[in-house]
Chain A
Amino acid sequence: MNVWEVFRFAVRGIGANKLRSGLTMLGILIGVAAVILLVAVGNGSAQQVADRIEALGTNTLTVQSTSRGGSSPLTVQVAQALKDPVLAPDVASVSPVVSTSATLTYQGTDHSVQQFVGSYATYFTASNSPIGRGSGFTTADVEAGRRVVVIGQTVAEELFPGMDPIGQELTVSGALFTIVGVLAEKSSSSGFQDANDVAIAPLTAVQQALTGYGSLTSIVVEASAPERVSDVQAQITTILNQRLKVEATSTSTPYRIQNASQLLETQTETADTFTTLLGAVAGISLLVGGIGITNIMLVTVTERTREIGIRKALGAPRRVILTQFLAEATMLSLIGGGLGVAAALIGSNFTIVGIQPVIVPSSIALALCVSVAIGLFFGSVPANRAAGLRPIDALRYE
């Protein structure tokens, strides 16, 4: 008997009990689809995190003070010292930042922003906050302490619904600021904070009107290229240690340097753990599906032991019987697995728990291989047993 005939025998065998075949396939379908889809969800969330962090700018570093309560050692002088072409050649820009929460008032309407930021003109690029409409402020504005402000989308919507905010004047703690621009909408809200609920003004103006000339909240340092970030980190560490008189042997520093790529790494690790976990859960469901196939295969073969006896009595060689049952098992798991892949591909078009799944191709191959292997293995064990029986024993089987 050739391959085609074995195939036809198997199709007939599967068709002989449609409900049972259908249920077996359903088990595999669900297992395979779950594996592919859950891994895709994990992968999707990892990508989402990565995108979000990349949006922060991968070539920036943030220097923050670690001293609690007492005044921060970070000052404008310290920030300016970081812009040193000799000691720190890879630094592209340095933006000292003061940030405070503030209440903005426009014609009797109040809106509190979490972050009223005062910084340099370089902050817009360094913090990856491009201007949407209007313009930013300039270095000249910073030097003159001009009270101009660029507001985020949320602020614009809250205070100026349906009108153009540019050119309008806001009151912040009694000081008037003129709006010169609106930031482009940031798609990624980083969880608890609305990234669009900000206002950015020249450092000098904010210090004068709001925070005073004390210490800075942070310093944002931009590296000349993403791959220079670790060099920059080393360079500014040296300068800061010098300026802030940190002993070389000291284990604690009064400042902390964070960079987006570090953040990216740890976040990606977390996301990978998440994916692995989801994959494991899905793997278990595939295994349970596999046990389902085994069970049904056992029942099928046991139930069909008489049939095997008849076939042997008619002169079917052991090999042909074995091939038929294996072909049935393989076909069931292949069709089930194929439908599972299709279901997963369709499912991945939808957002699942707020995450756009991203299919990992290797998970498709893995899930399919596992389902076929399960079908083959668990199909072959009972079939092999039955095919090895003497015809009369198979015929007498109850």
Chain B
Amino acid sequence: MTVLDVRRVAKVYGEGEAAVHALRGVSLSVEQGDYVAIMGSSGSGKSTLMNILGCLDVPSSGQYLLDGVDVSRLNDRQLALVRNRRIGFIFQSFNLIPRTTALANVELPLAYAGVKPALRRRRARVALDMVGLADRADHEPNQLSGGQQQRVAVARALVTEPALLLADEPTGNLDSRSTEDILAIFDQLSAAGRTILIITHEPDVGARATRLVKLFDGQIASDERQMRVAA
């Protein structure tokens, strides 16, 4: 079953002379259970693509179908629902809510989903436990290391059990030890059948995926399946 279907998507920032063509007609389709790594040099349009996939941004032209639904037809409320239920997004810069405990951060998507507080707390604890941070539940982001913050962000992305996990250079700011922690979690999720898209510029991170897409100057340069390299 096709989860993502991107058809000739282009994205232009700015106008006229200053226009930047970040994406020039990208077509990509991702099946359920795929573990896709997107690589490419800096400025090749990886983040732009990922933001469109995560419904955080809209393409200038082309179509994006998520679970067969054209996203451009959804209104503000439906988009919020899609982001909340279907997609788990992990940012390079963690993007945790400051001065808010890890537990409360992880609970947040559930709160917006309308889950009752008691159940919410339980599920958030389970998610934190999964990323190995059960004992840090009451710490605020500034009391956590970068690797720990990113694991909280992963827990937050997982807690609603979305079918699709999008990660934009999740290990870009992390040391090799924390990187391994995060990748281990991804491996586990992939094994459980989740669809994962991960942006990276580290070849050994890309090697963990089952499919490698290379972007060059806003276009797909190569797209091939590969054998997973176990950790």
Query: Once the chains are docked, how many angstroms separate the CA of A16 from the CA of B140?
Result: 11
Name the prevailing secondary structure of the A interface residues. Answer: helix
Give the interface size class of chain B: 20 to 34
Query: Once the chains are docked, how many angstroms separate the CA of A277 from the CA of B91?
Result: 57
Residue of A nearest to B157 (CB): A314
Is A339 on the interface with B (CB-CB < 8 A)?
A: no
Q: B80's contact among A9, A309, A312, by CB below 8 Å, is which?
A: A312
User: CB-CB < 8 A to A146: which residues of B?
Assistant: none
Nearest-neighbour CB distance to chain A for B41, whole angstroms, equals 21
Q: A307's contact among B55, B81, B98, B156, by CB below 8 Å, is which?
A: B98
Contacting pair B89 A313 (CB below 8 A): yes
Query: Once the chains are docked, how many angstroms separate the CA of A311 from the CA of B108?
Result: 8
Query: Once the chains are docked, how many angstroms separate the CA of A320 from the CA of B54?
Result: 20
Interface centre among A314, A318, A395 (most CB of B within 10 A): A314
User: CB-CB < 8 A to A312: which residues of B?
Assistant: 56, 80, 83
Residue of A nearest to B48 (CB): A392
Q: A392's contact among B56, B111, B112, B113, by CB below 8 Å, is which?
A: B56
Interface residues of A in 147-186 (CB under 8 A from B): none
Interface residues of B in 197-221 (CB under 8 A from A): none
Total contacting residues, chain A, CB less than 8 A: 23
Is B44 on the interface with A (CB-CB < 8 A)?
A: no
Query: Once the chains are docked, how many angstroms separate the CA of A307 from the CA of B98?
Result: 8
Interface residues of A in 292-332 (CB under 8 A from B): 306-307, 309-318, 320
Q: What 1/0 mask marks residues of chain A from 372 to 395 whose CB sits below 8 Å from any chain B CB?
A: 000000000000000000111001
Contacting pair B99 A315 (CB below 8 A): no
User: CB-CB < 8 A to A310: which residues of B?
Assistant: 95-97
Contacting pair A5 B117 (CB below 8 A): yes
With A12-B100, A16-B100, A390-B57 known as contacts, the answer to whether A317 contacts B51 (CB < 8 A) is no
Contacting pair B58 A316 (CB below 8 A): no
Nearest-neighbour CB distance to chain A for B201, whole angstroms, equals 20
Interface residues of A in 9-65 (CB under 8 A from B): 9, 12, 16-17
Contacting pair A315 B85 (CB below 8 A): yes
Other 16 A-B pairs with CB < 8 A, given A310-B97, A311-B97, A391-B55: A1-B114, A9-B111, A16-B100, A307-B97, A309-B95, A310-B95, A311-B112, A313-B89, A313-B95, A314-B89, A315-B80, A315-B82, A315-B113, A391-B83, A395-B56, A395-B91
List 8 A-B pairs, Cβ < 8 Å: A5-B111, A307-B98, A313-B95, A315-B84, A316-B112, A317-B112, A318-B80, A390-B57
> Which B residues form the contact surface with A (CB < 8 A)?
51, 54-58, 76-77, 80-85, 89, 91, 95-100, 104, 108-109, 111-114, 117, 156, 160
